[in-house]
Structure 1
Amino acid sequence: MEIEKLRILGEASQYDLCNYVSLNQENFTSKNLPGIYHTRTPNGCQVPLFKVLMSNHCTNDCKYCINHCHNHFERIKFSPEELISVFLHYYQNHYAEGLFLSSGMPGDADLAMENMIEVARKLRLEYEYQGYIHLKIIPGASYDMIKRVMSLADRVSVNIESATSSGFEELTSTKDYHNDILRRMKWMGRLKKRHPQMAPSGQSTQLIVGANDETDLDILKRAEWLNKHLNINLSYLSPFEPLEKTPLENISKPADNRTPRLYQAQFLLNSYGFSPDELVLDDNGFLFLDDDPKLLWANSHSDMFPMEVNEASFKELLRIPGIGKISAKRIIEARRKGIKFTKLQDLKDLGVVVSRAEPFIQLNRAQQTTLPF
């Protein structure tokens, strides 16, 4: 029965992302180890997490979710002791290196939170587990519950799901966008500011792409707002998946490359100093899917290029296709040491993607030297 619970509640957790990738069913579960999810760290390493729902009982009517309250199937749950036992077995056998725990909401948000808190409390205090814990905040949870969660977890999150309140209302009638979601996110932000040791990895959130009529511009403006006001540097974007026995089962999936393009654009906003108004969009507020948003911007600003690499500021370098934050920093550091760039190979050695950058740069105001092949 425990293995069956793992299979069901592990699969049911798959739509809560903790990885900046498109949904990949094979990444969530396996026949031998249900509940294992392989996430990637910023440096590219894969880390196995035990990722599961505490319960699939839920009184919310989210139209995209298989656990919505109008769906009739067997509802099951883990007790805190059962879940701890399974997780410690996985952890001690090196199957998982951390815990990602979420839950449906069985009528009362604080009741659901209490069970997840008990798991984290016992792991920390009774079993002296000091590894990674990510706990989901149930929409509508009380301030005191959120504070308790943040004292135990490395990362916390509540899913915002939609970029606008009207879009949110298209997806559910049992949750309030401003009260249940945004207010809780602001509470977490304030607690983190007052107590930096709480949830040391901060908070994250998730938006669904393609479940309603929201445009890419809507999504990107919300992502920028979350970064500016709540210090959420990158929001997870979950491409909508039409699931059987949900009200949205006949809605089409978004184009495969829509979510990756949105991630690229979000990086431009949150890490490269772009504003939403600078992005190249179609008349309806959607990104062009055939080209990188940064390349489209550069091609539409021919007056700024070619840019002299030996003179450009850090912010200007970030506008050049093929130059990222790391390579831009390396260029600035090399220039401070008196190094002048005269060959494309010099830039390639610093991590610049010269095949993309070459049309947009010049070196010492001289003709660029091509790479030897």
Structure 2
Amino acid sequence: MSTLKKMKILTDSAQYDLCDYVSHHKSSQINLPGIYEAIGHNGCKVPLFKTLLTNSCKNDCKYCINQSKRNFTRLELAPEELAKSFLGYYNRGLVNGLFLSSGISGDVDSTMEKQIETVSLLRKKYGYDDYIHLKIVPGASKDSIKRAMALSNRVSINIEAATSSGLAELSSTKDYNKDILKRLSWINSLQNKSSTYPNSTHTTQLIIGANNESDKEILSRMEKLYKKSNLKRTYFSAFTPVEETEFMNKEACSTDRTAKLYNADSLLNEYNYKVKELVFDENDKLSLTQDPKILAAKNMNIFPVEINSAPLVELIRVPGIGVKSARRIISIRNKIPFSNKEQLRKLGVIVDRAEPYIKISGEFQTTFDY
């Protein structure tokens, strides 16, 4: 089979590893397989070449297109073959980086070795010095994680679920605490204790809706991880049933749910919220129709806050005020106090949302609209 045909299959299988907040499960172009636009939370678009090294896998994840029990053609790109294919795209200006993941062919160590060999060829043989995101295989050795981090701008390991029981619903071949959380801890420890990985960051991903975990359980796990690690961000993949898997008849997860999880997760990761400050329904789910920041504000007794004197921790809790605009407010008011809401609007504040929660020089609106 030609390299192009193998790339088409392997890059389409890689769509389930997310690199953006917007799209879920999309195929790339037939003649240019593997090009995906990574879209960050700031809206910046970066074209990446995203592929699996192999779709062979020993794991039995019940939702996964590459699970061991599924009957389909298994393929693999050799490290040299993959490196040259990527460089063909990069040198033509079609992509700005590589996103490399893999099923587990044979054993964990050999799979990690092939991924590391691929990025090592790019760095050392071909002199490539741009962006590489490498997925760490659950159960990888500390040595292979060290080498992967030394060669990559970003590494990640998918925790898939918020709890060990939640992962058990998805797979019988992975140990949540040993294969995943322990490896995540190693990644964080290596970043903190060594100057070898100054530019390497790490992320993770969960499958949402494939098991019975609630939004509160999911966000509680993320709160713990953000508290004790330097985890850059979390991706939430909405479960979609795949033919010939155990979960093929299971209902797909609404992307409305993952959208609200992203909203709430940003409150934990960027705004220093606690899970106990968020509002959940009787089933521990987030509202699909209301902003979690506005719902959280309803239970806070700090409002309205004075724009000209409130500390940062209070300003960022105002709906419509982000971290950047809060810092700008503090910087400007130290020189010239604010006198009207139009001044805030020019800083990027969503004034219509913020107005019920603020005072400007002692004046405020008392009507809250929920």
TM-score (norm 2): 0.95
Q: How does 1:1-373 map to 2 (within 5 A)?
A: 1-25=2-26, 28-41=27-40, 43-198=42-197, 200-301=199-300, 303-337=301-335, 339-366=336-363
CA distance in 1, matches of 2:48, 2:174: 29
Secondary structure of residue in 2 paired with 1:100: strand
| Structure 1 spans left out of the alignment, 5+ residues | 369-373
**How far off is 1:306 after superposition?**
2.3
CA distance in 2, matches of 1:16, 1:190: 24
CA distance in 2, matches of 1:264, 1:44: 15
CA distance in 1, matches of 2:105, 2:289: 44
CA separation of 1:356 and 1:105: change in aligned 2, threshold 3 A = same
Dislocated runs of 4+, deviation >4 Å: none
Q: Is the 8 A contact 1:10 1:34 kept in 2?
A: yes
Secondary structure of residue in 2 paired with 1:285: coil
Secondary structure of residue in 1 paired with 2:255: coil
Q: Is the 8 A contact 1:56 1:75 kept in 2?
A: yes
Q: Is the 8 A contact 1:22 1:239 kept in 2?
A: no
**How far off is 1:327 after superposition?**
0.7
CA distance in 1, matches of 2:39, 2:23: 12
CA distance in 2, matches of 1:367, 1:34: 55
Give the aligned partner of residue 368 of structure 2: none
Q: RMSD of aligned C-alpha atoms?
A: 1.4
After superposition, the C-alpha distances for 1:223-260 in whole angstroms (9 at most, x for unaligned) are 11111112114211111111111111111122331111
Equivalent residue letter for 1:115: K
Equivalent residue letter for 2:347: L
Q: Mean Cα displacement is larger for which, 169-178 or 291-300? A: 291-300
CA distance in 1, matches of 2:44, 2:98: 17
| Structure 2 spans left out of the alignment, 5+ residues | 366-370
CA distance in 2, matches of 1:21, 1:91: 24
CA distance in 2, matches of 1:119, 1:199: 21
CA distance in 1, matches of 2:198, 2:249: 39
Secondary structure of residue in 1 paired with 2:192: helix
CA distance in 2, matches of 1:209, 1:17: 13
Kindly, what percent of the aligned residue pairs are identical?
Answer: 50
Equivalent residue letter for 1:279: L
**How far off is 1:305 after superposition?**
2.4
